[in-house]
């Protein structure tokens, strides 16, 4: 079986977030998809299937379980379809996922690159009522590293993560997650991931800096550049830091040598916040599984 290796949120290979892509996956069972994802070993592998309710269906698997939604997996899958001329570089499609039907828009930039914009579900935030000290400790920090001028919250645009405001960039260098202990700390949502961020950035063009530590149920430790959590970060920014519409650049992956960028778009429509992310995907190589 052919699995295409793409790097999302990067314009060069071996940076950003790697994902596997399997096209024409209609003949695979759920168990077979899980087995392929485990063999490939990327944080996520995306499987493209036909859909009765949208233009395409995407399913996403970590080595450990299926995910409702995956930002970089979506970017990788759409990139694979574009490269094989199954989609044009100027298109708008509806994608069926287990988080709902999402709109994906594709447009060429000035040098002909396909820029992929993916709608996310409306953001939801819930209070984190656990111990701040224990939460800091489980990612290798102390309570003094946490920026208490902003709230710690569970957030979701399709997948739950805990948004943790951190005071300085230097704290990101010393982070060491104890993923196995996450469920003990995240008692309200024990399958959630942890996503620390700060407003200091390395790239002057970026607005936020983040890392993403995976749920222990995923079978991975850290996600290099996380599309879904970046969307949550953007919604957090527009809710708790500076209310209103925004276009934000998120940098992630620098600490682990997988530098990438996600553009987050926040718009207000009536009383609802609309979240979308824009990124790229580049082909790296073809694998046989």
pLDDT tens readout for residues 265-276: 999 988 899 999
Q: At what angle do helices 227-236 and 71-83 cross, to 10 degrees?
A: 130
Q: Residues 7, 79: one domain?
A: yes
Provide the mean pLDDT of the chain.
97
Containing 77, the helix (H) or strand (E) segment is: helix 71-83
Provide the domain count of the chain.
2
Which residue range is the domain that position 169 belongs to?
124-277
Kind of pairing, strands 91-97 and 56-61?
A: parallel
Kind of pairing, strands 246-252 and 193-198?
A: unpaired
Q: Residues 259, 145: one domain?
A: yes
Q: Residues 153, 65: one domain?
A: no
CB atoms within 10 A of CB 137: 15
Residue 66 designated active-site? no
pLDDT reported for residue 136: 99
| CATH number of 226's domain | 3.10.310.10
pLDDT reported for residue 60: 98
The structure's pTM equals 0.94
Q: Residues 77, 152: one domain?
A: no
Q: Which of 44, 96, 222, 251 is catalytic?
A: 44
Q: Residues 249, 131: one domain?
A: yes
pLDDT tens readout for residues 70-92: 999 999 999 999 999 999 999 99
Any idea which of 38-42, 188-192, 214-218, 267-271 has the lowest mean pLDDT? 267-271
């Amino acid at each position: 079986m052919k699995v295409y290796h793409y790097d999302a949120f990067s314009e060069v290979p071996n940076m950003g977030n790697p994902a596997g892509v399997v096209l024409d996956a209609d003949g695979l069972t759920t168990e077979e998809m899980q087995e392929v994802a485990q063999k490939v070993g990327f944080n996520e592998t995306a499987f493209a299937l036909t859909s009765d309710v949208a233009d395409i269906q995407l399913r996403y698997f970590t080595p450990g379980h299926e995910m409702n939604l995956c930002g970089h997996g979506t970017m990788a899958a759409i990139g694979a379809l574009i490269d094989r001329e199954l989609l044009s570089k100027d298109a708008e499609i509806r994608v069926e996922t287990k988080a709902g039907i999402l709109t994906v828009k594709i447009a060429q930039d000035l040098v002909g690159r396909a820029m992929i914009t993916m709608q996310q579900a409306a953001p939801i935030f819930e209070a984190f009522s656990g111990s701040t000290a224990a939460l800091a400790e489980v990612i290798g920090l102390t309570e003094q590293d946490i920026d208490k001028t902003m709230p710690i919250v569970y957030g979701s645009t399709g997948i739950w993560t805990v948004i943790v405001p951190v005071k300085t960039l230097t704290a990101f260098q010393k982070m060491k997650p104890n993923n196995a202990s996450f469920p003990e700390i995240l008692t309200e949502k024990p399958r959630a991931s942890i996503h620390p961020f700060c407003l200091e950035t390395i790239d002057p063009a970026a607005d936020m800096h983040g890392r993403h530590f995976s749920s222990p149920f995923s079978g991975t430790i850290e996600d290099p550049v996380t599309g879904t959590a970046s969307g949550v970060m953007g919604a957090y920014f527009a809710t708790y830091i500076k209310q209103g519409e925004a276009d934000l650049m998120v940098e992630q992956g620098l600490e682990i040598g997988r530098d990438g960028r996600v553009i987050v778009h926040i718009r207000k429509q009536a009383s609802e916040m609309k979240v979308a992310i824009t990124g790229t995907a580049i082909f790296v190589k073809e694998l046989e599984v």
